[in-house]
Amino acid sequence: MLKVYRENKLMKNILVLCRGNSCRSQIAHGYLNYFAFKKAKVYSAGIETHGVNPRAIAAMQEDGIDIKTHTSNLIAEYKHIDFDYIISVCDHVKSHCSIRFSSSAVRIHQHFRDPSAVKGNNRKIHEAFEVTRLGIKHFCRAFVKQYL
């Protein structure tokens, strides 16, 4: 039992936040799970819930990462967890989040454009998801390298 406790203490708790917990935070959640492999427990949430966007699921599947079982959660569901890192991936959450977490959590903000807000034909929307996914992928890889 002691060994399990020590292993769990080494794992970091990471919360990724965006407005609706449907695209950007879900993509980051998927990449952080992948890059942090067994070094962290990753959660994602929003100040609203919009459901996981099917285009985000498809974009991640194109890169070999499965997020189709993810759920869209409200930030209040996780206020009892002691997070090591809280990452906001949109400016709206950075300025409108009223939930307070442990003061010891390292807060990191990196805004990514919301691909679900892009209007146009399917090609234009798909490109927006690819661009956002790639930016989040690079950010998550660098985060894991620096902090974990």
Instruction: Please report the pLDDT score of residue 5 as a whole number.
Output: 34
CA geometry: angle at 15 spanning 10 and 20, to 5°?
A: 165
The answer to whether 113 and 131 are in contact (CB under 8 A) is: yes
How far is it, in rounded angstroms, from Cα 26 to Cα 3? 31
Q: Is 97 an annotated catalytic residue?
A: yes
Is residue 23 among the annotated active site residues?
Answer: no
User: Is the pTM value of this prediction over 0.85?
Assistant: yes
How many domains, in total, are found in the chain? 1
Q: Which residue in the list 16, 17, 59, 90 is annotated as catalytic?
A: 90
Which range marks the domain in which residue 47 is found?
2-147
For the domain that residue 79 is a member of, what is the CATH number?
A: 3.40.50.2300
What does the pLDDT read at residue 93?
78
Instruction: Please check the confidence at residue 15 and state whether its pLDDT lies above 90.
Output: yes
Q: Please report the pLDDT score of residue 135 as a whole number.
A: 98
Residue 39 C-alpha from the chain's centroid: 15
Active-site pick, 14, 16, 18, 32: 18
Number of helices (H), then strands (E), in the chain? 5, 4
Tell me the backbone φ, ψ of residue 113, rounded to 5 degrees.
-60, 140
Tens-place pLDDT, residues 55-111: 999 999 999 999 999 999 999 999 889 999 999 999 887 666 656 666 788 999 999
The pLDDT tens digits for 119-148 are: 999 999 999 999 999 999 999 999 999 999
